[in-house]
Amino acid sequence: MTIGSSYNYPAFVAKDAPRKKRETANKWAARFPNPPDLCFDYRTLLEQENGIARATDPRHRICIIGAGVTGLTAARELYRCGFTHITLIEQARRIGGRHLTVPGSRHATQSHTPFEMGAMRMPFFNRADEPPTAGRSLMAYYAQAFDLSFSDFANPGSQWVNSTGIYLREGSMGDAPNPQMLIWKNLDGLTPPPGKDLQRVYAKWKAFADRMTQQVAELYASPEWESTWAAIVKTYQGVSFRDLVSMPVLPIWDRHSPGDFGGMGMSAEESAIFYAIGIGDGSWGAFYDVCCLYPLRTAIFGFSSQLQLIHGRVDSMGNPLDAPHLNSEAVFDSTGKTFDRPRYIGLAALDECLLFMKIDETGKSVYEHSRERTHGLLTDSSVTRLKKLANQQTRVYFNGNHSQPKETREHFEDFDSVIVTLPSWLIETRIRLENFTQEMLPFETINAWKTAHWETSCKVYAPLKKSFLSKNTNIPQAIVTDSFIHDVYTYRYNENYSYDCILLSYTWEDDATKLASFSDKELVTQCAEELDRILMNAANIQEKISPYIGIDQAVVQRWITDKNSLGCAKLYRPGTYYDAVSLMKYNRDYAHVSGLYFSGESFSVDAGWTEPCFRGAVDAVIHICNKTAARFNGGFAMSDYPHYQLKA
């Protein structure tokens, strides 16, 4: 986790870059840092008065499958455009998908510390001299629009923790005769990790990443950018992260060979250390065999910069601001079924705002409008079939009581457009596709989502006594280990809350899979005992952390066994990057014929982040607006919208 520790270099490079006034013809171009594939400023499109477009066919019938952040964003922006026949179908009895904020107490009041069992730290893509909401991202746009409160996330190795403990190889790293926990204090944000071994690994990673970032920042949004990015993809799309770490260093980048930045030049021993402590947004050992473009995208383009903890739509005391249905005992979908009411606490507040907050252009929220329609919002409802009809509509079959299989009865409705936001494994295992020809849905597209790699992840959260962060000076605030618990985070949302929180264990891939055989209670006990063992074994600590932890109130989330997700995030292995990008291209290439629009992380290349969910949702809205001849606002035209590139 700690080598890059909230890797902010892209934001600093952008700060120092020359500020050029946007040319009128290029008003839609993004700026660095931002994702590399489409150099397009989605925020400019959304933040203008009246949003993306004005619908000329408001009765165009649209179904959105999934009420995670992608589906909710699509629903809000379509309704904002003036589309009025929108049906949102959600299989769970809550909204938000893999934004899962769990009350940190079984007897929670409005003021309580939440546990973020899914996504938990948000990049805003702001430069170093800007507040987060000035970032040219959709996360920054919605956080500002909904008045969300946030603070710098307490990443291990960053200046936002008072110290980070690093315990590798049973404390044998370093020169001490007894097992030691290396203590890293980085209060200025510039202090390298302790010990010559860690510093050597840190220097090799930083030299590679900084060199690449400098060149990328200079070329981003220039006429050369598309060909440069295509060349980078061509060079690295068949290379695993493990191989990139050991590849020889390229001392000087050659503009005539823009896609080649060499490797990090680490030895086997250095690679083993890097495996355990990573680049700055999680322990990377679990991802060593994925395509190296994923960690490169994450580190170089701002996904790991200046990460923020979302407190919710709350005041300085941590209490929710006045908002729709905040004090409701229950909320109901269009059929009268209850689903989780909004609390506006933590990251889930973002999803709740998308659904429940009023829209200026309509005077109503998506929720209010949905409740006025028979099938506007359906929760606890699972889609089972999509059938293409001769009249070019798509018939959507769904069961209305997913949580009670014995009471389910199949219903159907016909739609002009269908937006699918589900994790792709759910599409393959739960939904049958009928009558879609190769011209509508090529086998290559189906194969790309069938063979997508979905990773597992496991989180173990518990309440933490406030005395740990207020009075403890011995145990580090964050801990990184190569034991089965891996990464440990402790942090505070608000002094007013009765306790803080500890993420006892955060694991991915094989490291999460190895924990699958334990019950939740067994796993919590194992994690606490292992952390105590490590701390007691370290001669410079020798104090248990368990007395600070509310073990009985711990919560475990295993994403691979969550029946509404079947995985935490979608990755891609070496050689499959072009398949992943082909899914991102589908809406432009085929959706106007098929009536299907694929959006969300399943059809992105930035696993585990919220920004691609926003962008995928807006992409679908753009294409539906184009198909229905909606009038785009702000002078935007499809000729302004760049294409995804598959080959150099």
Q: What is the pLDDT of residues 600-634, one digit of tens each?
A: 999 999 988 999 999 999 999 999 999 999 999 99
User: Model confidence over 474-483: pLDDT tens digits?
Assistant: 999 999 999 9
| Residue 280's pLDDT band (cuts 50, 70, 90) | very low
Question: CA 615 to CA 611: how far, in whole Å?
Answer: 6
Task: Please state the CATH superfamily assignment of the domain spanning residues 43-98+315-449+573-636 in this structure.
Answer: FAD/NAD(P)-binding domain (3.50.50.60)
pLDDT at 195: 86
- Quote the percentage of the chain above a pLDDT of 70: 95
In order, the DSSP letters of 552-586 are GG-EEEEGGG-TTTSSSEEE--TT-HHHHHHHHHH
Question: CA 468 to CA 409: how far, in whole Å?
Answer: 52
Does position 24 have pLDDT exceeding 70, yes or no?
no
Domain ranges for the chain, please list them. Answer: 43-98+315-449+573-636, 193-300
pLDDT at 4: 42
Question: CA 294 to CA 35: how far, in whole Å?
Answer: 11
pTM value is: 0.95
User: Model confidence over 452-491: pLDDT tens digits?
Assistant: 999 899 999 999 999 999 999 999 999 999 999 999 999 9
Token code pair at residue 404: 């009670």
In order, the DSSP letters of 505-529 are EEEEHHHHHTTTTS-HHHHHHHHHH
Tell me the average pLDDT across 362-387: 96
Which H or E run contains 64?
strand 62-65
- The dihedral of CA 464, 466, 469, 475: what is its sign? negative
Does position 71 have pLDDT exceeding 60, yes or no?
yes
Q: Is 541 exposed, middle or buried (0-12, 13-18, 19+ CB in 10 A)?
A: buried
**Which residues on adjacent β-strands are paired with residue 457?**
508
Q: CB 619: neighbour CB atoms within 10 A? A: 26
- The dihedral of CA 355, 357, 359, 365: what is its sign? positive
CATH classification of 193-300, choosing from 2.60.40.10, 3.40.50.720, 1.10.405.40, 3.40.640.10?
1.10.405.40
pLDDT at 193: 87
Q: CB 533: neighbour CB atoms within 10 A? A: 12
DSSP 8-state class, residue 97: T
